[in-house]
Amino acid sequence: MTEIVRLALEEDIGPGDVTSLACISESQMAAGRFLAREPLVIAGLGLLAEIYQSPVTLLKRDGDSCAADETIAAIRAPARLLLERERVALNFLQRLSGVATAARRFADAVAGTRCRVLDTRKTTPGLRALEKLAAAAGGVTNHRMGLFDAVLIKNNHIAAAGGVRNAMERARAASTLDIEIEVRTREELREALDAGATHLLLDNLTPAEAAGWIGEIAGRARVELSGGITLENVRAYAETGADFVSSGALTHSARAMDISFRLELA
């Protein structure tokens, strides 16, 4: 059992589900079904076997689309077990399916362009790995997992290092990882390109401004756009010629999807 599942069960069940212990006999068996209550992209199914520690019949795979009232998974186990773990299972499925559904909408919005959608580190504490798996299931590309697997020089790094060139030179000397650098002005853009930048982050530009900057870059570096990118405007940003757009909304603002659990005595 993964630590996050163990913690979730411990948080909810504690020393025991007093309601189920009081109302349900230990020998009572039951069958349960997880149902989509609205159209969604499912994610998190791999957690069900960990949560229940019992065989689960999966009728969908992560990344599959589900229609309203469609059965996603089924399980047969002691009724007490099904009841005490229902909320934890639903919490994971609803949250992760929300991320996957949002990701699919973003990916669909940029279809036909050369641009890929990236997720960010704006994730629920402790759930980053799961939320990034859900984002990928929905069809977007995972950005760095944390501060340890890629160098991303942002405005405060530049200020602390004493400028764009200083920051880049120090990063190159210290790391062999891919280096991306944020530039906020045309002057910083030119300084970064002159210093050999191959991956640029342009933040908080309008689509028209971004297109102008990308025209000046002229293919000399890969370009990521970020800041204020929503489902409503992501297509406009993707059509600027950017290689990537990133949006924290994929994770920090994803709505939990409506999934229910139906139990019947077996």
Q: What is the pLDDT of residue 72?
A: 98
Is 87 noted as a catalytic residue in this protein? yes
Q: Which of 86, 182, 191, 224 is catalytic?
A: 182
Tens digits of residue pLDDT in 150-208: 999 999 999 999 999 999 999 999 999 999 999 999 999 999 999 999 999 999 999 99
Is 104 noted as a catalytic residue in this protein? no
- From residue 79, how far is each of 34, 73, 88, 101, 118 by CA, in Å? 15, 16, 15, 31, 41
Dihedral angle over CA of 142, 163, 198, 183, nearest 10: 60
Tens digits of residue pLDDT in 104-115: 999 999 999 999
Give 235's pLDDT tier (boundaries 50, 70, 90).
very high
Is 60 noted as a catalytic residue in this protein? no
Tens digits of residue pLDDT in 70-94: 999 999 999 999 999 999 999 999 9
Q: Which of 105, 122, 170, 222 is catalytic?
A: 122
The alpha carbon of residue 24 and the mean position of all alpha carbons in its chain are separated, in whole angstroms, by 38
| Dihedral sign (CA 56, 73, 252, 131) | positive
Alpha carbons 196 and 181: distance in angstroms, whole number: 11
Position of tokens 């050999």? Answer: 196
Is 132 noted as a catalytic residue in this protein? no
The CATH number corresponding to 110-252 among 3.40.50.970, 3.40.228.10, 3.40.50.2000, 3.20.20.70 equals: 3.20.20.70
pTM of the full predicted structure? 0.96
Q: Which of 76, 154, 170, 184 is catalytic?
A: 154
Q: Which of 12, 64, 70, 203 is catalytic?
A: 203
Q: What is the pLDDT of residue 266?
A: 81
- For the chain, which residues make up each domain, given as ranges? 3-107+255-265, 110-252
Q: Which of 33, 87, 121, 165 is catalytic?
A: 87
Is 182 noted as a catalytic residue in this protein? yes
Model confidence at 265: pLDDT above 80: yes
The CATH number corresponding to 3-107+255-265 among 3.40.190.10, 3.90.1170.20, 3.40.50.300, 1.10.3720.10 equals: 3.90.1170.20
